Structure 1
């Protein structure tokens, strides 16, 4: 097996807690703060960890954690090792902490790893666990890149893009929701998005909807009216107009040619 998990899980502390690893932990530690705060010391540096902070510690790093008496602190934690992980860690500089969005996509991946780790040995799937760990690392790599100061757009714009990609096909999707996810006013979010993405939020949402519609037209036998609704267009007449403007043919003709 390429990678091995020493431990992983979720902890919630309501009482004081302290732990120290003066000679390192022998594996790579990922620790995601989901509730409250705590204080850690990594290589002699004192760091306040707040909700949404992901801590990354390499095997030989001196590490201490302190949760004060009466302080609430919740976290996902994972200690693992392997040659793939060594290569991934060394291929680019890794920050000690990075702020991540506590969204369902990221947390679901972490929970999936925990559930696999807790299975009886005879039912564990090492290949699946390896793929899940790699997916977690690669997802984190993208976050580190997108949050770096030299990235091509502010992270708040990336956050809006990800929200649209996830929610555009929902019937309740609105620009107001996108602005709320970014903690910006509607006018500010609209201008910032257009400046860095080069198209409006509605145009970007339509791109996501059309892509979803193409998939359903290709791989399902659902009616075009149903697909229009499923992909966030509502009425078929609106879907027909948007689709023909983008692809130059009506949805029905496109489907016949592709079949």
Structure 2
């Protein structure tokens, strides 16, 4: 059974927390925990931080407060969440009328900057509400992370890596907001039709310009709307379709690289090899040897 973290009672808060020391291996290779716990405010107070090599997620259990982050102040209440990059300056304040209770986790990892950028790119925001969601998946997961950090398991770092990955997966699901794109779509453009057109034509000469002309829309508008709905640019989506087809051809046929390149819309073998290696990290020839028939 995990050990219960000690209760700390100060002038401003009472809290349970675990300050975690990950291994060097975890810090170099995994998502790793820095601190996690829960707190209840005893008095109104403000906590400010900046220049921390950390990312913070917290969930408001009860009460009200606010988060000041990147020149904006977010009012928060029961059921609200925050996910922020603590390298930026931030401060969080409990309301004087309804003192809040929080559960939180501070964590980091070698690729967290890129992951957080993807979160923002998909429509994620520093603060969001769970009130319109069917199930609160965050609170039990925060409890699980706390239990793991408090345990004596010899594989705690691996378990915590898995649990933090699950947290990020859920956050990515919450960040995915194609409905925002729909509210600004005044042309009636259906992205499903755009994808169907690309799916039918990606093996030929097709580009952002060609797709915009097909649907008679401005290409900047098309690019913005497509990315809001799919998480990809039009060209990246075309590229993805071509590489996926090429991988199937490499695995399940004996066709030459020239033939595969032409059939997938990748012009010729040299360009195909460069593009494939850039995306997959290995050449088509090596991929075929590893995964082919």
TM-score in terms of structure 1 length: 0.52
Structure 1 position 7, deviation (Å): 0.7
Write the distance in 2 (CA, Å) between the matches of 1:151 and 1:116: 41
Structure 1 partner of 2:48: 20
8 Å Cα contact 2:64/2:95 also seen in 1: no
1:95 matches 2:125: yes
1:109, 1:132 within 8 Å by CA — same for their partners in 2?
Answer: yes
Q: Which runs of 5+ in 1 are unaligned?
A: 153-259
- The SS at the match of 1:150 is helix
Q: Per-residue deviation at 1:14?
A: 3.2
**How many residues get paired?**
150
The counterpart of 2:167, out of the listed 136, 141, 145, is 136
SS in 1 for 2:180: coil
Cα-to-partner distance string for 1:120-145 (whole Å, 9 max, x where unaligned): 4x645211110110111111111121
Separation in 1, partners of 2:156, 2:58 = 23
Aligned twin of 1:169 = none
1:190-229 → structure 2 map (5 Å cutoff): none
Are 2:34 and 1:6 equivalent residues in the alignment? yes
TM superposition score normalised by structure 2: 0.46
Query: Which has the higher Rg, Structure 1 or Structure 2?
Result: 2
Rounded Cα–Cα distance in structure 2 between residues aligned with 1:118 and 1:30: 19
| Contact map agreement 1:24 1:61 (CA 8 A) in 2 | yes
How do residues 24-43 of structure 1 correspond to structure 2 at under 5 angstroms? 24-43=51-70
The correspondence of residues 1-259 of structure 1 with structure 2, limited to 5 A, is: 1=26, 2-21=30-49, 23-69=50-96, 71-93=98-120, 94-100=124-130, 101=133, 103=135, 105-120=137-152, 123=154, 125-146=156-177, 148-150=179-181
Q: Can you give the 5+ residue segments of structure 2 that lack an aligned partner in the other structure?
A: 1-25, 184-293
